[in-house]
Structure 1
Amino acid sequence: MLPLTEKTVLLPVDMQAAFDSAPWPPRWNVNAGSNGLALLDLWRRLGLPIIHVRHDSAEPGSTLRPGLPGNQFRPGFAPKDGEQLVVKSVNSAFIGTDLDLRLRRLGAEDVVVFGISTDMCVSTTIRTGANFGWRMTLVEDACDCFDLPGGDGTVIPARTVHDVHRATLGFEFCKVVKTAELVGSAS
């Protein structure tokens, strides 16, 4: 089991309002939000470090552009006093930010990640973090992703997209756990 210590940093990725409506496609995990909030509550109760990640898009027309309602955090996911925020404009929270430096300054050893979407910003952040030498953990049931178009006019269901990325991440880049495992380990 992953030890929850002051060296275990929680990294919620892109828990933003834009993903809750069009033009974003349907998602699959109705429990991602409640599981993510349970993780935030656990880290806050234990006084462990949290670094929130927000995507500030530079793309014209993006629902994630600063100043638009979609750029805001979903209810309950905004940083609280003393919690850090990393702002990114690409998929990885490590690229073009000082996340690696922040983790080093905290003396971090483990980085626990959840958010939207499993196959894009969560996956890219975990892969980059692992490449940088961090011990990464994916909380798979606190993640969500979208239905995606297949190459032949079909739709790849979001759950399938999630399952494939969870498997590839767990095979090479990180430990994969469920919310209840982390919450139960702290009880």
Structure 2
Amino acid sequence: MKQNKNLGCRILRRSSCCLLLLALFSTSVCALESDGDQPIIIDSNTATYDDVKAISTYTGNVISIQGSIRVNSDKLVVYFIDGEADKMVFTGNLAKFKQTPHEGDPDITGEALTGEYYPKKNLLVLIGKATVWQGSGAYASDFIEYDLKTSLVKAGEKESDNKRVHVVLQPKGKEQAQGQEKKTTVKDNNK
């Protein structure tokens, strides 16, 4: 038991130190395609590790960061296989995530009661009151899959016709359209 407590303290110290280093270097980390290659850094109020079950549990203002991906939740449970994080389950009064899909693109943000992140698959599954936004568009459903590598969003469940998907696509405002034209003109002039 004492070893598990010491391990938890070491994990917390390392997590806090790594989080500070990540904050200092965050401007150079716009890893978008390489998000999956970055370390997962977790900061929380408490942490426990069950060596027999290979499960680590974090509670209280949990912040998880991997490259440009950031998740805030009340609780996080990490399931390990052969020492690597295989599945991460985020829960809370709407756990929230943010990712920069490509440099210069608007962030993709979302929230749900439960989030399941599969680091090896670059897959985030949002369950219960799930919503995903990018720019002026939004998807809302009880079930949303988000492929972090390709930025592909799939909403709804094929098995159920009674669970609907709600999508909002906002038209570009006059100022946005003019700004886009200016960007295009600047790009064309730089050829």
Q: Rg: which structure is higher?
A: 2
Asked if these proteins are the same fold (TM beyond 0.5), I'd say: no
**Could you say which TM-score interval applies, normalised by the shorter chain?**
under 0.3
Higher strand share: 2
Using the size of structure 2 for normalisation, the TM-score is 0.26
Higher helix share: 1
